[in-house]
Amino acid sequence: MREQLREDLLASLRQKRRGFTKGWYKFSRNPLSVIGLVVLVSIVLAAILAPYITPYPEHAKPYTNFQDSGKPPSLTHFFGTDRVGRDIFSRVIFGYRFSLTIGIVVLSLGVAPGVILGLIAGYHQGTWIDTVIMRITDIFLAVPPLVLALAITAMLTPNLMNQMMAIALVWWPWYSRLVFALASSLRSEYFVREAELTGASKLHIMFREILPNCLAPVMTKMTLDMGIVILLGATLSFIGLGVQPPKPGLGTMVAEGAKRLPGEWWGTIFPALAIVVVILAFNLVGDGLRDVFAVEEV
Amino acid sequence: MSEPLLDVVDLHVGFRIFEGYLSVLNGVQLSVGVGERVGLVGETGCGKTTTVKSILRVLPMPPAKVTDGQILYRGQDVLRMRRRRVQALRRHELSAIFQDPLQSLNPVFTIGTQLRDIVKDSAIGQGRRLPRRVIEARCIEALRETGMPDPERIMTNYPIQLSGGMRQRVCIAQALSTHAKLLLADEPTTNLDVTIQDQILRKLDELVDEHGSSVVMITHSMGVVRDLTQRANTMYAGSIVETGETKQLLEGPKHPYTQGLMASVPKLTGEGISEGIPGRIPNYLDPPPGCRFHPRCVHRMEACSAELPSLFEIGGGHRAACYLYGGEA
Amino acid sequence: MVAFIGKRLFQSLFVLFGLSLLIFFIARVMPGDPARAALGFLATEEQVERLREEMHLNDPFPVQYYYWLRDLMHGDLGRSSYTRRPVTMDLVQYIPATFELILFATLISAIIGQVTGVLAGYFRNSWFDGLSRLVSYLGIATPSFVVAIFLLFVFSQVLKLAPGVGRLPIMMTPPARVTGFMTVDSLLAGRPDIALTALKHMILPAISLAVIHIAQEGRITRTSIVENMQKDYITVHRVHGIRTSRLVFKYLLKPSIIPTVTVMGLDFAFLMSNAFLVEMVYMWPGFSRYAVTAMLNKDLNAIVAVVLVIGLTFAMVNLLVDIITMFLDPTIRLRTGGS
């Protein structure tokens, strides 16, 4: 008996490893996805290690040195310096910390409620539970997320925390809609009906039978959404409703730099490029995952 | 046999896919005379549709690739023709009906729009544009010929408003509206109800008679071959294994595959269920060498796995690609 | 069909009602005193209290909402604490400039997106397909404010090929306002020269808005074209010798643009939100810039109004898209009954 268990465990581990190898093989067939992954890993590492690897970590804090103000890119300042003489390269790397934090916090706050609500509505498709949940979802989807997030942040005090809460508040409906669609089609599948016939509880069916089959699209969407949330965060800071100066938000830096165009172009272009690169990387990796999981549309 | 209208010579077609190379057509030989009706029989997946699409040059390339062979239409090789010439052929000479009428009509246009454009474009290159009235009349006539009630109303319908049988009649009307000289009918009734099948086939038969077209009738039904064709070919895994007059083929099948196929036809006299042919059609990624039927064949010998047998003459135009009837064996 | 549209209208109304409740709730539960915000720091406590009473701020939430809804029915959205004018009046003034810009951007993205999508799909795996794929990746990943700044920097400031910010040069007198669309009004006033200048001023901001949608619509059209090209009916059309131009632009395009049309409806609302950024960069005196100003100044009445206007536009555009889709796709039309 015990032997048997051990065998089963090993077999399932082997299968998992094989699944992973096959997935990696599919992912690596698209060179763009691999490039995206490499870029992404570098950005994450750089952001984590920012205090140790940036040339001027103190420039991410309130700091002025007017002697170095507005210097073009050089070997001492890769991306040049800004109006008050801070090193833009160091600030961009620190800016990634904010961007990634926004992405991670928003998705961890927003995805779980969205998935659970979608799951409940999908399983109870056609009943009043479905109607209530999905109509509320519709209300949140009735205006673009940027508008609602802006309105909410505007009514609160603009700062990083409130910005993340506002985006999370407008983000869950997308997941409840996605999971609703998946769950309502899964619930008529044979394995779900079989579980129902054997008398499994509702909770078991929703969380152990249906949910695992929704994870691949949800994960793919999360990767793609990281890019979109980062974009939204940068947008909010650009408008002035996000990370407040002197903290180095990427959007804030673009907005500040734009005031000094066309002369000191580096103050805008480099933070802007930094935003594009991180979003692009998330999109490329997300597309790769879409191929791996063979997800049609998320 | 007189000068053939269509002569497919040693056609090899393959598909490059992710897992490797699928060698689907393996030297197809097929000829059709003027006014002749030829049957092509074989099980699903043996390359019948690929043959038809090659003749019409509508195979998607890539992934498909013609590696060898010729398709001669009135002596000219369709595969090496200029695009313009192929278009002209499709407009005036060739026509086709496909298996699934539900997929063969564009869902967002009315029957009338689709039919009118076929007739309109068939006049391209003939110097004059057809007047509207003539187009309209020809479309309605084509629909009426297929036995459709109220063709004027059908013209304004969208495909989803019609049943499968009706849609296949529309497809036939489309195919015959340009008075093609050669009609390629690729299992035109497989996806229809049995009761409708018969009506459609009878109608098709009648119309082909009137127009005097040649026909290649693809089917996996022996009954259809018997009723509608003068000559018949059996196809297995990408090559023609037996050819002859329909009567010869049905009454005295020579190739072991044809024999097996005949034996699989359920008899109404109640002799029980036939044995069928053991095994299944080979994997085109790695087909067996030589005669592709040899792994399933009861008569297999050494030569079978060495080289693909050519079509050996048995007598009276009846030929079979089997070492039982020729070759060194 | 009428029943279908009626049902959709009802749904839209419900969603808008819910949206107003949501946004009103958020506006009222936030800390801070709207009356104080409206009057400024210099007002006396008595004045504030009088306004509080007038704005029904001392009543419970449902009562407040009732009054607010009643005023809304009369077209009264309250007074903006920033511009000190009725919000409705502000909206009427600023909306046309934004709509003009967005319509122009939609036109650009629809044309360029469709054409590249069709070409990329038809010539799948060609160099053009690869290039458009690359460009669309970039287009999707670039925030519109970055595009806006970049275009302004390159084409206006460095190359001097395009005019700078605003709807018209400062020296030029705008035509009398009729529609609020600068190009249309100039033509109505018999001044095609002003119309042309106004059009030139719209090009950069409109392209900044359109880029992301060109990329998205291009991708969707491409996918749809590729999918439809593998359909049997396209083979059948080819077999019958249909002219290539007719095949591509009629028989392939119509079934393929249905998903794109749906996406375009969604995109229209996204254009409105992206206009927030682009109008800031180009100093465009439109609704979106008004919205940003309202948000930066905690102008509650204006914020609520802005969200509702966008929600209303979104709902109307989606209804329009449903109707268009129904005309394009007979399967939907015939299924929903009536023909």
In sequence order, what DSSP letters do the residues of C91-116 get, joined into one string? HHHHHHHHHHHHHHHHHHHHHHHHHH
Cα C135 to Cα C218: distance, rounded to the nearest angstrom: 10
Give the model confidence (pLDDT) of C267-311 as tens digits: 777 788 888 889 988 888 888 889 888 888 888 888 888 888 888
CATH number at residue C199: 1.10.3720.10
* Helix, coil or strand: residue C48: helix
Cα B26 to Cα B46: distance, rounded to the nearest angstrom: 10
Contacts of B171 in chain C (CB under 8 A): 236
C-beta atoms of C233 and B107 within 8 A: yes
Give yes or no for C277 touching A (CB within 8 A). Answer: yes
Residue scoring higher pLDDT (A41 or B197)? A41
**Burial of B176 by CB count in 10 Å (0-12 exposed, 13-18 middle, 19+ buried)?**
buried
* Identity of the residue in B103, B117, B175 whose CB atom sits nearest the CB atom of C232: B103
> Listing from the earlier edge strand, what are the strands of the sheet with B64-73?
B20-33, B4-17, B64-73, B76-77
* Helix, coil or strand: residue C82: coil
Is residue C75 in a domain? no
Contacts of A234 in chain C (CB under 8 A): 143
> Which residues have CB under 8 Å from A217's CB, separation 6+?
A178, A182, A293, A295, A298
What pLDDT score does C339 carry? 38
Cα C339 to Cα C334: distance, rounded to the nearest angstrom: 6
Q: For residue B65, give the H/E element and its range.
A: strand B64-73
Residue scoring higher pLDDT (A154 or C151)? C151
Give the sign of the dihedral formed by CA C67, CA C69, CA C75, CA C77: positive
Q: Which of B312, B294, B293, B186 is nearest to B238 (CA)?
A: B293
* Helix, coil or strand: residue A75: coil
The domain of C113 spans 93-300
Give yes or no for C122 touching B (CB within 8 A). Answer: no
Is residue C245 in a domain? yes
Percentage above 90 pLDDT, chain B? 0
Give yes or no for A100 touching C (CB within 8 A). Answer: no
At B157, phi and psi to the nearest 5?
-85, 155
Q: Please, are residues A121 and C263 in contact by the beta-carbon 8 Å criterion?
A: no
Give the model confidence (pLDDT) of C107-148 as tens digits: 998 889 888 988 888 888 788 888 888 888 888 888 888 899
State the distance between the two ends of chain C, measured CA to CA, in whole angstroms. Answer: 7
Burial C68-88 (b: 16+ CB within 10 A, else e): beeebeeeebbbbbbbeebbb
What pLDDT score does C338 carry? 44
Cα B174 to Cα B115: distance, rounded to the nearest angstrom: 6
C-beta atoms of C146 and A276 within 8 A: yes
Is residue C71 in a domain? no
Number of CB pairs < 8 Å for A and C? 130
Structure tokens of C57?
């701020």
Q: Nearest-CA distance from A280 to chain C in Å?
A: 5
Is residue C12 in a domain? no
What pLDDT score does A273 carry? 92
* Residue B329 confidence (pLDDT) above 50: no
Cis peptide before C259 (omega within 30 of 0): no
- Compute CA distances B140 → A249, B126, B134, B145, B150, whole Å: 70, 22, 10, 9, 9
Contacts of A252 in chain C (CB under 8 A): none
Cα B144 to Cα B157: distance, rounded to the nearest angstrom: 15
Q: Please, are residues B275 and B296 in contact by the beta-carbon 8 Å criterion?
A: no
Is residue C217 in a domain? yes
Q: Are strands B37-41 and B231-236 parallel, antiparallel or unpaired?
A: parallel
- Compute CA distances A193 → A183, A202, C203, whole Å: 13, 12, 57
At A16, phi and psi to the nearest 5?
-60, -45
Give yes or no for C294 touching A (CB within 8 A). Answer: yes
Give the model confidence (pLDDT) of C1-47 as tens digits: 777 788 888 888 888 888 888 888 877 776 666 676 666 667 788 88
Q: Which domains, and CATH codes, for chain B?
A: 6-93+180-325 (3.40.50.300)
Cα C114 to Cα B78: distance, rounded to the nearest angstrom: 34
Q: Please, are residues A85 and A68 in contact by the beta-carbon 8 Å criterion?
A: yes
**DSSP for C207-245, written as a single string:** HHHHHHHHHHHHHHHHHHHHHHHTSHHHHHHHHTT--HH
Is residue C319 in a domain? no
Give the model confidence (pLDDT) of C65-103 as tens digits: 888 888 888 888 888 878 888 888 899 889 998 999 999
User: Per DSSP, what are the bridge partners of residue B28?
Assistant: B11
Give the model confidence (pLDDT) of B8-21 as tens digits: 888 888 887 766 77
What pLDDT score does C38 carry? 65
Q: Which domains, and CATH codes, for chain A?
A: 43-56+73-297 (1.10.3720.10)
Domain count, chain C: 1
Span of B282-291, C35-44, C248-257 with lowest mean pLDDT: C35-44
Give yes or no for C276 touching A (CB within 8 A). Answer: yes
* Residue B101 confidence (pLDDT) above 90: no
For residue C155, what is the nearest residue in chain A, using CA coordinates?
A: A262
Is residue C16 in a domain? no
What is the band of B1 on the pLDDT scale with cuts at 50, 70, 90?
very low
Cα C151 to Cα C157: distance, rounded to the nearest angstrom: 9
Spans in chain A with pLDDT lower than 70? 1-2, 16, 295-298
What pLDDT score does C31 carry? 63
Is residue C228 in a domain? yes
For tokens 């087909």, the residue is: B287
- Residues B61-66: contacts with CB within 8 Å, 24+ apart? B62/B16, B63/B15, B63/B16, B63/B17, B64/B13, B64/B14, B64/B15, B65/B13, B65/B14, B65/B15, B65/B16, B66/B11, B66/B12, B66/B13
Average pLDDT, chain B: 79
Judge if pTM exceeds 0.90: no
What pLDDT score does B2 carry? 56
Cα B139 to Cα B144: distance, rounded to the nearest angstrom: 9
- Compute CA distances A286 → A278, A295, B276, C134, whole Å: 12, 11, 50, 15
Structure tokens of B100?
């699934």
